Amino acid sequence: MSLSHFDPLANLRLFEDAFTRMISEPQSNRPWSPAVDIFETENDLVLKADLPDVDFKDIDVRVENQTLTISGQRKFEKQESATGYHRIERSYGNFQRSFTVPNTFDTEKISAAFKNGVLTVSLAKKEAAKPRQVKVEVAV
């Protein structure tokens, strides 16, 4: 009978190697999803989406059935040669994000602006949903 050396971390190293290979593969064929912030002001619902290196002509903003959808494409930078790259981690290609808009916002009153790689979409709050102040009168 012979004794063999048992390494309890061997399986963990195999998993780590597989995981490292998986995340280091180029992501050019994977869809990407831009990061967004959504917040409410006194008068509006505001969505801000980070879209660096996206041309404003490649962005589409739609509202249908209380659903706000932003979509578009970030095109791959054309290089003379890809031989100088050590890693390519930024995602390219088509993207799409959809969000349900609460009924308290008017989907007919929407605006969108694109500046410095950030898309800002605003939807106006319906008058009935806006806060209002009630005057308190003294009863005699």
Q: Which residues pair with 99 in a beta bridge?
A: 68
> pLDDT tens digit string along 41-86?
989 999 999 999 999 999 999 999 999 999 999 988 776 566 777 8
Q: Which domains does the chain have, with CATH numbers?
A: 31-128 (2.60.40.790)
Contact 36, 97 (CB under 8 A): yes
Exposure b/e, 16-53, CB count within 10 A at least 16 = b: eeeeeeeeeeeeeeeeeebeeeeeeeeebbebebebee
Cα separation, 95 vs 88, in Å, equals: 18
The more confident residue out of 26 and 95 is: 95
